[in-house]
């Protein structure tokens, strides 16, 4: 379990993390979602005792990370995939990590096999592709068989097969009862991986709820209705207490599903030209939620949005 209380970090006059409170529970995958520069990595670095909080605290398994005598057995973390000496082999990288926490060397072979790098274990990490580096980073996180796993942007640079692998790994780790905390700036990725979602923007928590709850709250859906006698149809639907919004020649109806609307209109002898369920994507919901907190807006995309 990871718990942040009033966690704050300032760099000079810029506040990267603004007094956030959250709890990451075991047994599920918690997605930590936010645009670049939202404070995800800073929060994770504070959880690992690398950056000192300006105010507040963050504890792992009930105590400060640095208080652990063998932290790799408690918390495994992937921070940056390229944070590996290019001249050192994957096996040697894991060997020194294991030695530093008194982890048996047999774990080195085990995690290499687990991430699928056993055949290239003797190669220098500098020759690794981005995806292989990412796998080695994940192997480093798992070396101590820790009950808490923190992965910062683990799917960056992975091919589709690798992305699916990370997704399944995260689910497996959570199903074993571990605390799994994964950051990403991609809503689509989180939607497939996370059970719980913590959304951060400009250093503040914008949402902290289950994935289903987030979908229900933010991924608005409506039924698009087009009819030749649209005024009559509108009156009929409003009369049934449904929310109807007129947009040009189409009606956007909320409160009843498409087949039910079709039957309702049909029994009144009215014609329909279109009846479509429209679901705004989670990506849109995420963009809308974090729109005010994004550090750098691309001017072009703003134009498109208008």
Partner 1 sequence: MSALQAAAPPQQVAAAGFGRTLHSEWIKLWSVRSTWWTMIALVILGAGLTTLICWGNAEWLASAEADESPGSFITWGMMIAQVCAVIVGVMTVTSEYGTGMIRTTLAATPARGRVLAAKAVVVTGLLFVIGTLTALLGYVGGNWFLDREGIGMSLDGDVARSMYGSGLFLGGLGLFSLAVGFLVRHTAGAISIVLALVFVIGNMVLLVPGDLGIFLERVMPGNAGGALASPVPFNPHLLGAWPSFGIFVAEIAAVLGAAWFLLRRRDA
Which one of 55, 57, 85, 268 is in contact with partner 1 (CB under 8 A)?
85
Q: Could you tell me if 141 and 168 are in contact, meaning their C-beta atoms sit under 8 angstroms apart?
A: no
| The dihedral sign for the CA sequence 50, 56, 62, 67 | positive
Give 181 or 286: the residue with its C-beta nearer to partner 1: 181
Q: Which is nearer to partner 1, 176 or 295 (CB)?
A: 176
Min CB(4)–partner 1 separation in Å = 17
Show the binding pattern over residues 41-70: x = contacts partner 1 (CB under 8 A), - = does not. ----x--xxxxx--------x---xx-xxx
Q: How many residues bind partner 1 (CB under 8 A)?
A: 44
The string of DSSP codes covering 158-212 is --HHHHHHHHHHHHHHHHTT-EEEEEES-HHHHHHH-SEEEEEETTEEEEEEEHH
Q: Figure out which of the listed residues 123, 145, 156, 230 binds partner 1, where binding follows CB under 8 A.
A: 145
Cα 19 from Cα 39, distance rounded (Å)? 11
Nearer to partner 1, 5 or 61 (CB): 61
Out of 36, 55, 57, 100, the only residue in the binding site for partner 1 (CB under 8 A) is 100
Return all residues near 133 (Cβ < 8 A) that are at least 6 apart: 81, 82, 84, 125, 157
To the nearest whole angstrom, how small is the minimum distance from the Cβ of residue 84 to partner 1?
6
Separation between Cα atoms, residue 247 and residue 99, nearest integer Å: 65
- Interface with partner 1 includes 97 (CB under 8 A)? yes
- Closer of 183 and 290 to partner 1 (Cβ): 183
Report, in Å, the least distance between residue 164 CB and partner 1. 21
Closest CA to 294 of 185, 201, 172, 175: 201
Q: Is 82 a residue that touches partner 1 (CB under 8 A)?
A: yes
Applying CB under 8 A, the residues found at the interface with partner 1 are 45, 48-52, 61, 65-66, 68-74, 77, 79-80, 82-89, 92-93, 95-97, 99-102, 140, 144-147, 176-178
């Amino acid at each position: 379990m990871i718990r942040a209380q009033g966690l704050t970090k300032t760099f000079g006059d810029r506040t990267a993390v603004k007094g956030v409170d959250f709890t990451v529970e075991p047994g599920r995958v918690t997605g930590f979602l936010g645009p670049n520069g939202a404070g995800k990595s800073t929060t994770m670095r504070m959880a690992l005792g690398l950056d000192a909080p300006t105010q507040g605290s963050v504890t792992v398994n009930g105590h400060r990370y640095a208080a652990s005598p063998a932290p790799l057995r408690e918390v495994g973390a992937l921070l940056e995939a390229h944070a590996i000496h290019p001249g050192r082999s994957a096996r040697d990288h894991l060997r020194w990590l294991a030695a530093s926490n008194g982890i048996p060397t047999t774990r080195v072979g085990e995690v290499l096999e687990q991430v699928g790098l056993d055949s290239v274990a003797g190669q220098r990490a500098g020759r690794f592709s981005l995806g292989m580096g990412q796998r080695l980073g994940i192997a480093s996180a798992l070396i101590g068989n820790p009950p808490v796993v923190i992965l910062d942007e683990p799917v960056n640079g992975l091919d589709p097969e690798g992305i699916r692998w990370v997704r399944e790994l995260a689910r497996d780790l959570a199903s074993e009862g571990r605390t799994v905390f994964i950051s990403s700036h991609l809503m689509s990725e989180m939607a497939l991986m996370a059970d719980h979602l913590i959304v951060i923007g400009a250093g503040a928590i914008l949402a902290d709820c289950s994935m289903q709850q987030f979908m229900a709250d933010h991924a608005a859906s409506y039924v698009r209705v087009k009819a030749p006698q649209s005024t009559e149809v509108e009156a009929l639907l409003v009369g049934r207490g449904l929310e109807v919004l007129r947009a040009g020649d189409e009606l956007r109806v909320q409160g009843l599903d498409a087949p039910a609307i079709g039957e309702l209109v049909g029994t009144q002898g009215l014609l329909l030209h279109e009846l479509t369920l429209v679901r705004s994507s989670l990506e849109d919901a995420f963009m809308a939620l974090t729109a005010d907190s994004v550090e750098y807006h691309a001017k072009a995309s703003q134009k498109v949005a208008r």
